Amino acid sequence: MSVALAAQLREGTKKSHTMAENTGFVSCFLKGVVDKASYRKLVADLYFVYGAMEDEFARLKDNPVLAPIAFEQLNRREALEKDLAYYFGSEWKQNIQPSPSASVYVERIHQVAKESPELLVGHHYTRYLGDLSGGQILKNIAQKAMNLGGDDGLHFYEFDAIADEKAFKGTYRSAMDTLPIDQPMADRIVEEANEAFHLNMNMFKELEGNLVAAIGKVLFGFLTRRQRTGSTETVAA
């Protein structure tokens, strides 16, 4: 049995998506204000999150629900390692640790993988499809805001193994729609995807203190005063 999971995920996470875009850190980012110190902490957090997710998908490679969406072209760990070497130097592994919110996120991924691995679909969708949809836009913003050259520090946004991102997203959504799940499981996956958005928001909120220190309370307040309707939701279409 299969259900139209892709559309359910998109509709069922719209509110969470918009809420994530309206966190102070992301709101400033989308307006071109990116503090390098805060950004590199985000890169470090993402390294631990993607490491956990990719380890679990590798361990569960024979799971009939997870296997159809476990596209290796999406994996981000290697790209994040390149970015961490740029921001922290060759000894980057000794210089990073997950933030409290990233640790909670990682724990949730491992918990779900152990107790109900099918729910990892919600986490996979939230991170990877979002990265693929808004990647180039976010890369261009970060590159300009931090005055970076080429792909320096921005490999995370590059999907070198995917020639046509729009076509690939279609393939990904088609794979989701053929997963052997019933409607109750689809509902749980949508719920878990919203939890994934919440976990991401907590990471972003932790970074706001660093950003305020860098740009000042007045500018931060000005940049975050107006709520967005959800720009990257359109990109993800």
Question: Using one digit for the tens of pLDDT, what is the confidence trace for 170-181?
Answer: 999 999 999 999
Query: What pLDDT score does 178 carry?
Result: 95
Percentage of residues of the chain with pLDDT beyond 70 = 92
Mark out the alpha helices in the chain (DSSP H runs).
Answer: 5-12, 14-21, 24-30, 36-59, 77-88, 100-115, 120-124, 130-145, 165-177, 183-215, 217-223, 231-235
List, for residues 10-31, the tens digit of each pLDDT value. 999 999 999 988 888 888 888 8
Its CATH architecture, for the domain 5-235, is Up-down Bundle (1.20)
Rg (Cα) of the chain, in Å, rounded? 17
Residue type, 190: V
The whole-model pTM stands at 0.90
Query: What pLDDT score does 235 carry?
Result: 36
237 has pLDDT over 80 = no
List, for residues 151-169, the tens digit of each pLDDT value. 889 999 999 999 999 999 9
223-232 mean pLDDT: 60
Mean pLDDT for the chain overall: 90
For the ranges 82-86, 159-163, 210-214, the one whose mean pLDDT is highest? 82-86
Confidence of residue 233 (pLDDT cuts 50, 70, 90): very low
